[in-house]
Amino acid sequence: MSPKFCPYCGNPVKQTDKFCIICGKPMLTDIPKSEKKPEITETKKEKEIQVIEEKQEDIQPEEEAIEIETKEETKIKPEKLKEKKEIKPLPDTVKEQIDLYIDYNDVQLNKTILSEKLTELSKSTKDARYEYDLDFKKDVNIKLEALKTLISELKEKEKEVKQNLEEPFIVQRINSDIETKIFQLENLTREHKLKKVDKESFEKLKDKYKQEKESLEQERDDLVSGMKLWIQDLKLEKAEISGERKLTKGRLHSKELTEVEFAKADKEFDLRLKKIDTKIKTLEKLTK
């Protein structure tokens, strides 16, 4: 057995010594050598990751295809929705008739307003000043005459507008025609059941009435949609005027306007809103 020396101080030690008797440090030979574990080139976890990645690679093309389809659908859907929401513009002849109906109802509104003013002004003739104050009497009479003239003019305009009105309105006429087609279909079916109409004639007439009915319904729906769009625009206009009216009231509170200026502006706003309401009511009535 070869002699053993301390690796730290170089003094000789016994084979059985665990520590150097000179420096007291442990002998390296007594420390158990760590066994090197064989290197694993690929752990179980890594293998699992690789398998998952391989599966993802297999699935990816399919997912990409689905994503592409989804994108294509997204592109198509808004177009389809646009087609559904697209509203045909109202024919000029129908617009002209609607304007006439609006004018007619506007005349009725103005007649009501002027009649109220005339009633209010007529009270001035019972005022004591009307008897002895010539200037007061003259002023009242001029205003009364002016109101009566305006009312008379409105009545003439009412007659003129009414002469050009097509009554009933086209929507009501179409509704009447649809009811006629429904009656024809019902009557045809009844006649066929009673064997008064042969099968061939029955089928031909049935298809004819159905097509005519569907065509009428489409025409009516297009007109009503256009009129409802007009109503929406009028409601927006009404909201804007109401907003302007509130701002004007705010200007009164901040003393930018006098009471007289505000009262004049408020009357104008009130008249504008009444006229829009008349238009909205007219259109709503004509859609039915």
Q: How many degrees, rounded to 5, is the angle at CA 72 between CA 66 and CA 74?
A: 105
Output the average pLDDT for the chain: 83
CA separation for the pair 32, 27 (Å, rounded): 11
pLDDT in tens, 110-156: 999 999 999 999 999 999 999 999 999 999 999 999 999 999 999 99
pLDDT for res 26: 75
Tell whether the model's pLDDT for residue 82 goes beyond 80.
no
Q: What is the mean pLDDT of residues 18-35?
A: 62
pLDDT for res 70: 41
pLDDT for res 25: 73
> Helix, strand or coil for residue 19?
strand
Alpha-carbon distance values, 212 to 183, 205, 220 (Å): 13, 11, 12
pLDDT for res 223: 96
Higher pLDDT, 187 or 81: 187
pLDDT for res 128: 92
| Residue 168 preceded by cis peptide, ω within 30 | yes
pTM: 0.64
CA separation for the pair 118, 131 (Å, rounded): 19
Percent of the chain with pLDDT over 90: 69
The pair phi, psi for residue 13, each rounded to 5°, is -135, 165
The pair phi, psi for residue 10, each rounded to 5°, is 85, 0
Looking up tokens 């009511």 gives: 281
CA separation for the pair 94, 173 (Å, rounded): 13
DSSP lists the bridge partners of residue 12 as 5
pLDDT in tens, 153-208: 999 999 999 999 999 999 999 999 999 999 999 999 999 999 999 999 999 999 99
CA separation for the pair 113, 217 (Å, rounded): 39
Tell whether the model's pLDDT for residue 102 goes beyond 60.
yes
C-alpha closest to that of 236 among 267, 278, 280: 280
Give 220's Cβ-side CA count (13 Å radius): 20
Q: Which pair of structure tokens corresponds to residue 129?
A: 């000043």
Tell whether the model's pLDDT for residue 273 goes beyond 50.
yes
DSSP lists the bridge partners of residue 194 as none
6-15, 23-32, 66-75, 112-121: range with lowest mean pLDDT: 66-75
Question: Would you list the DSSP string of 170-230?
Answer: HHHHHHHHHHHHHHHHHHHHHHHHTTSS-HHHHHHHHHHHHHHHHHHHHHHHHHHHHHHHH
Tell whether the model's pLDDT for residue 81 goes beyond 80.
no
* 244 DSSP assignment: H
Number of H helices, E strands in the chain: 7, 2
CA separation for the pair 225, 45 (Å, rounded): 65
Higher pLDDT, 279 or 15: 279
pLDDT in tens, 225-245: 999 999 999 999 999 999 999
